[in-house]
């Protein structure tokens, strides 16, 4: 089921990516292909699994983090946000997308966060 802001890579004869901007009662959706509209919802990653508010929160967090040039700082800052947000179950989707973004940066920078939190039960288990 599509949500407002979901990415549409291409549909039918339309080969430009776009985002869902309207859901109609007949089950169809309106897709906007304007690059600025796509950027509004998907600045850093495909966030189609998030609702509109979660997309805004995710982008706002990364807007602040991505002002820095150092990938290691970005990785550590994302980890700080993950640790802060994961205590609230309502942030589960945002946390997962932040982890995905952090994984992307880890692969790109070839480094790990300096510090992170993990459940004690998971220590020493492979």
pLDDT 10s per residue in the chain (126 long)? 888 999 988 766 777 889 999 999 999 999 998 989 988 998 988 898 999 999 999 999 999 999 999 999 999 999 999 999 999 999 999 999 999 999 999 988 888 777 777 777 767 765
Exposure on the CB side of residue 80, measured as CA atoms within 13 A:
11
Per-residue model confidence (pLDDT) at position 112: 74
Q: Yes or no: say if 97 and 49 are a contact pair by the CB < 8 Å rule.
A: yes
Q: CA-to-CA distance for 86 and 95, rounded, in angstroms?
A: 6
**Cβ contact 55:47 at 8 Å:** yes
**3-state DSSP assignment of residue 75:** helix
């Amino acid at each position: 089921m599509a949500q407002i802001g979901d990415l549409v890579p291409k549909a039918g004869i339309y080969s430009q990516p776009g985002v869902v901007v309207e859901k109609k009662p007949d089950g169809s959706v309106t897709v906007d292909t304007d690059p600025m509209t796509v950027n509004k919802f998907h600045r850093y990653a495909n966030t189609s699994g998030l609702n509109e508010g979660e997309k805004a929160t995710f982008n706002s967090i990364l807007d602040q983090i991505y002002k820095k040039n150092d990938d290691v700082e970005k990785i550590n800052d994302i980890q700080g946000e993950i640790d802060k947000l994961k205590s609230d179950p309502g942030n589960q989707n945002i946390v997962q997308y932040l982890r995905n973004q952090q994984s992307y940066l880890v692969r790109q920078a070839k480094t790990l966060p300096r510090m992170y939190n993990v459940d004690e039960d998971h220590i020493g288990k492979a």
